[in-house]
Amino acid sequence: MMRVMILDDEKKEREYTISILKEQFPDLSIDSSASIKELDRKRDEQSYDLYLLDIEVGKDNGLDYGIRIRDTDRKAGIIFITSHDEFALQGYEAKPF
């Protein structure tokens, strides 16, 4: 079973993303975090196959976190979620999908 992690500080956006994924891929195991600190705790206990990362997570940066993931996990997929087009090129540093 594929394990997916969604990082987004906005509850409504997390729930929307989860509902889309569940509708299209009902067999996925989906977890979510509202902060990078929370995600770090969850990653200590569980590995994930795919990360959907919001770029602006409160005061934290999902782009930088994606690079941290890539430094420790070369196989996991990373997809950045944002409405800010100014982050588009910077996001490729983490080698996302």
Q: In terms of DSSP H, where are the helices of the chain?
A: 11-24, 36-45, 62-72
38 falls in which pLDDT band (50, 70, 90)?
A: very high
pLDDT, tens digit (0-9, with 9 covering 90-100), for 55-69: 888 888 888 899 899
CA-based nearest residue to 97, from 56, 59, 66: 66
Domains: count for the chain? 1
Total-model pTM: 0.83
Q: What is the CATH number of the domain that holds 43?
A: 3.40.50.2300
Q: Say what percent of the chain tops pLDDT 90.
A: 60
Beta-bridged to residue 7, according to DSSP, are 33, 53
Domain extent at residue 10? 3-94
Alpha-carbon 34 to chain mean position = 10
